[in-house]
Structure 1
Amino acid sequence: MIEARELTKRYGGRTAVDGLTFTVRPGAVTGFLGPNGAGKSTTMRLALGLVRPTAGSVTVAGRRYSELAAPLREAGALLDARAVHGGHTVRRHLLGLARSHGIPARRVDEVLGAVGLESVADRRARGLSLGMAQRLGIAAALIGDPGVLILDEPVNGLDTEGIRWIRALLKSLAAEGRTVFLASHLMSELELTADRIIVIGRGRLLADTDMRTFIESNSPHATLLRTPAEESGRMRALLEARGAAVRPDAHGRWRVTGPTTTDIGELAREHRIAVHELTPCRSSLEEIYTALTGAAVEYRSTRSADANAEEELSCMPS
């Protein structure tokens, strides 16, 4: 478990983390989201004792990280996959970590197998691709068989197979009762992986809930509707007369917001309008996150407004 209580970190006049209180519980993958500069990396570094809080506290497995007798056995972390001595081989790097904590050498072979790096075990770290370096970082996080995992952007550089692999790995680790704390900017992947979500902006907590509740509570009633071309104008007029918002999408359908899918179907039946598609849908995690954190974005393109206008038309089937 990871527990933060009024956690605050200031650098001079800038507040990077501002009174964060949250709990990351075992048995679930918890996603950690926030715009660039929101304080995610600082929060993770505070949890790992790499920086000291200005105020408040954060504990891992019930204690401050600095108080853990054998940290790698309690909490494994991946913050920077390239933070490895380039002259060391993959095996030597992991063996050094194991020896520092009294972990049997056989554990090195176990984690090499778990992350798929057996074939490059004797390759020097400087020769690894980014994807291989990510796998090595995950192996290092797992070397002590810890109950807590703190991972910052672990899918960077991974191909499709690698992303699917780490998704299954993290879910299996959580299913074993471990605490998995995962920061990522890949919204679609996080939506598939995380059970819970913590969102921060400008160092402050914006949301702390389970993924399903977060999406359902922030999604308007929306339906994808397709009717024969000759009936589309009449159907749109009927819907708008009842206060619905009706917009076209890129596939020749209408996205209808307001009435329920059942109400739309009944309206079409009442007026004898054929319906070729009627699909209830919800907003994606990316859409909801973008709306929630819009005011907390530190670096904004002048084209952001146009891009957001386009994204408002997307819809994820329920």
Structure 2
Amino acid sequence: MIETRRLTKRYGKTRAVDELTTKVEPGHVTGFLGPNGAGKSTTMRMVLGLDRPTGGEALVNGRRYAELRRPVHEVGALLDAGAAHGGRTARDHLRVLARANGIGDRRVDEVLELVGLAGAATRRVGALSLGMRQRLGVAAALLGDPGVLLFDEPVNGLDPEGIRWVRHLMRDLAAEGRAVLVSSHLMGEMALTADRVIVIGRGRLVLEASVRELRARFQEDVLVRSPERGELGRVLEGAGASVATEDGALLVRGLAAADIADLAASRGLPVHELTPRGASLEDAYLRLTEDSVEYRAKETAR
């Protein structure tokens, strides 16, 4: 588990992270979302002991990273795919990390196979594509078989097959009972991958919730089809809903689908379709962070 308790990081007068309190539970993929400059990478670096907090604390399994006896076996991370020495082979890069942490070469070969780099194990890191270096970074994170994992933009540089592989890997790791924290700007991918989200803006917590809860919070309307459209519309408006029409259907806002069904049934009005139309994860994210974007491009006329 990862916990931050009023975690704060200041650079001069700027608060990169501002009293952030969150929790990343085992068994879930948690998406870490926010605009550029929101403080996501800084938070991850403080969790891993790479940056010292100005205030508060970041804990892994109840302890600070520096207090972990065998950190590679408790927490793995991919923050920068370019961190590996370009002159070493992929296998040698992992062997150096493995020997420094009492891990045998057999595990090195296992993770190379797991990430699809067994055939490129003898190639130098500097000759690998960005996507292959990302895979190598994932292999390094998994080397100690840790129960806590942090990934910062892990699909950067990957092709569609690689993105799909990362998605399934993250979900498989969480299904094994691990706590997985993933930052990304790809909302469509996060919608497919994450169970929960932590949204931050300007270093502060905006929202922490399940993806389902987030979508429900921004539910826009319910699509209703009925051969008694006019009468049903009047009943729903009488119950306080706002009703519009679209392609022969009713668009109802202000009442949940279950309430609409109950009202229709109580009046003996048939319903042929009842479809809640919630906002996408991207729509919800943009609404939550619209006041936290530092740099916004000027919109052009269409």
TM-score (norm 2): 0.87
Aligned residues: 299
After superposition, the CA RMSD in angstroms is 3.0
In structure 2, what is the Cα distance between the partners aligned to 1:196 and 1:264?
A: 29
2:243 and 2:250 in contact (8 A); partners too:
no
What's 1:24 paired with?
24
Structure 1 gaps of 5+ residues are: 308-318
1:279 matched to 2:275: yes
In structure 1, what is the Cα distance between the partners aligned to 2:185 and 2:48?
A: 21
Decide whether aligned partners of structure 1 residues 245 and 121 sit closer, same or farther in structure 2, where only a CA change above 3 A counts: farther
What's 1:301 paired with?
297
1:222 and 1:256 in contact (8 A); partners too:
yes
Identity of aligned residues (%): 58
Decide whether aligned partners of structure 1 residues 226 and 83 sit closer, same or farther in structure 2, where only a CA change above 3 A counts: farther
Structure 2 counterpart SS, 1:82: helix
The one-letter code matched in structure 2 to 1:220 is Q
Spell out the pairing of 1:191-210 with structure 2 (5 A cutoff): 191-210=191-210
Deviation per CA, 1:86-144: give whole Å up to 9, x if none. Answer: 11111111111101101011001100111111111111111211211111110010011
Decide whether aligned partners of structure 1 residues 222 and 139 sit closer, same or farther in structure 2, where only a CA change above 3 A counts: same
Structure 1 counterpart SS, 2:294: coil
In structure 2, what is the Cα distance between the partners aligned to 1:22 and 1:151?
A: 17
Structure 1 counterpart SS, 2:83: coil
What's 1:316 paired with?
none
Structure 2 counterpart SS, 1:17: strand
What's 1:51 paired with?
51
1:35 and 1:296 in contact (8 A); partners too:
yes
State the 1:278 CA deviation: 5.2
State the 1:13 CA deviation: 0.6
The one-letter code matched in structure 2 to 1:219 is F
Decide whether aligned partners of structure 1 residues 210 and 264 sit closer, same or farther in structure 2, where only a CA change above 3 A counts: closer
1:244 matched to 2:242: yes
2:220 and 2:279 in contact (8 A); partners too:
no
Decide whether aligned partners of structure 1 residues 263 and 146 sit closer, same or farther in structure 2, where only a CA change above 3 A counts: closer
Deviation per CA, 1:180-217: give whole Å up to 9, x if none. Answer: 1111111121122111211111111111222222222x
Structure 2 gaps of 5+ residues are: none
2:241 and 2:253 in contact (8 A); partners too:
no
Deviation per CA, 1:16-47: give whole Å up to 9, x if none. Answer: 00001111111111111111111101000000
Structure 2 counterpart SS, 1:134: helix
Spell out the pairing of 1:143-182 with structure 2 (5 A cutoff): 143-182=143-182
In structure 2, what is the Cα distance between the partners aligned to 1:221 and 1:260?
A: 10
TM-score (norm 1): 0.83
Deviation per CA, 1:57-106: give whole Å up to 9, x if none. Answer: 11112221122232211111001112111111111111111011010110
State the 1:223 CA deviation: 2.8
1:289 matched to 2:294: no
State the 1:8 CA deviation: 0.4
In structure 2, what is the Cα distance between the partners aligned to 1:303 and 1:276?
A: 41
What's 1:222 paired with?
221
State the 1:6 CA deviation: 0.9
In structure 2, what is the Cα distance between the partners aligned to 1:261 and 1:2?
A: 37
Decide whether aligned partners of structure 1 residues 223 and 85 sit closer, same or farther in structure 2, where only a CA change above 3 A counts: same
State the 1:5 CA deviation: 0.9
In structure 2, what is the Cα distance between the partners aligned to 1:132 and 1:44?
A: 23
1:221 and 1:260 in contact (8 A); partners too:
no
In structure 2, what is the Cα distance between the partners aligned to 1:255 and 1:95?
A: 60
State the 1:224 CA deviation: 3.9
In structure 2, what is the Cα distance between the partners aligned to 1:194 and 1:297?
A: 23
The one-letter code matched in structure 2 to 1:88 is R
1:33 and 1:40 in contact (8 A); partners too:
yes
- Structure 1 stretch displaced more, 237-246 or 288-297: 237-246
